[in-house]
C-alpha cells in the first residue's frame, strides 16, 4: 500500500469515529442540575356526600373527610434559569435523585426530563410551575456591568 492510500484510510477511520453532533445532544435538549425536592400541597382528597348537593344537605348527610394531598416539586437549575416542576402523572411519579445531572427539553409549560447518569433512559413529563432567572448567572451579569461602569 502506498503512503497516500494508508493516510486516506486513516482519515476515513477518524472521520467515521467522530459523532455527527459533538456534544451528543438532540435538538432542543439542554443539561440541568436537580437541586432540591419539596412536598407541596396540590389539592385535597375528599370523601363524603357533600358533593351531591343540597338534597343530601337537607337530609343532614353532609359528612366530609378530607386529607391534604402532597405532591413532589423539584427545583432544576440550568446555566440561565431555575425551574420548579411537578410530575404530570402523580400516580406513577418517579422520585428523582437530587444532585444529579438531567437532560431536559421544554415545550410550552411542560418539561420532558431524564436523569443523565442513571440506567433509566425514559423521558418523563413534568409541568413547569415557576421559572426564575438563575441567581448565580444574574450576579455575574450585574458584576460585569458594574465593572464596565468604571
Q: Which residues pair with 86 in a beta bridge?
A: 127
pTM of the model: 0.62
Q: With a cut of 90, say whether residue 116 has pLDDT above it.
A: no
**Model confidence pLDDT, tens digit, residues 50-105:** 555 555 555 555 555 567 788 899 999 999 999 999 999 888 888 899 999 999 99
* pLDDT band, very low/low/confident/very high, at 135 (cuts 50, 70, 90): confident
Range of the domain at 61: 24-149
Residue 98 is predicted with a pLDDT of: 93
Q: How many structural domains are present in the chain?
A: 1
In a domain, 7, yes or no: no
Domain membership of residue 53 (yes or no) is yes
The three cell numbers of residue 120 are: 433509566
Q: Which of 78, 80, 47 is nearest to 64 (CA)?
A: 47
Quick check: is 74 in a domain? yes
3 found inside a domain = no
Q: Does the residue 2 lie in any domain?
A: no
Share of the chain above pLDDT 70, in %: 63
Residue 18 in domain: no
How far is Cα 86 from Cα 127, in angstroms, rounded to an integer? 5
Other beta carbons less than 10 A from residue 11's beta carbon = 10
Amino acid at each position: 500500500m502506498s503512503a497516500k492510500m494508508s493516510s486516506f484510510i486513516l482519515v476515513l477511520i477518524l472521520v467515521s469515529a467522530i459523532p455527527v453532533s459533538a456534544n451528543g445532544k438532540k435538538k432542543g435538549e439542554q443539561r440541568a442540575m436537580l437541586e432540591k425536592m419539596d412536598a407541596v400541597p396540590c389539592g385535597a382528597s375528599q370523601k363524603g356526600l357533600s358533593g351531591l348537593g343540597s338534597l343530601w344537605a337537607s337530609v343532614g348527610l353532609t359528612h366530609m373527610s378530607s386529607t391534604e394531598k402532597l405532591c413532589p416539586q423539584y427545583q432544576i437549575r440550568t446555566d440561565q434559569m431555575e425551574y420548579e416542576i411537578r410530575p404530570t402523572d402523580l400516580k406513577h411519579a418517579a422520585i428523582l435523585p437530587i444532585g444529579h445531572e438531567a437532560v431536559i427539553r421544554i415545550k410550552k409549560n411542560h418539561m420532558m426530563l431524564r436523569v443523565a447518569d442513571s440506567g433509566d433512559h425514559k423521558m418523563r413529563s413534568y409541568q413547569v410551575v415557576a421559572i426564575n432567572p438563575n441567581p448565580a448567572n444574574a450576579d455575574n451579569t450585574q458584576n460585569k456591568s458594574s465593572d464596565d461602569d468604571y
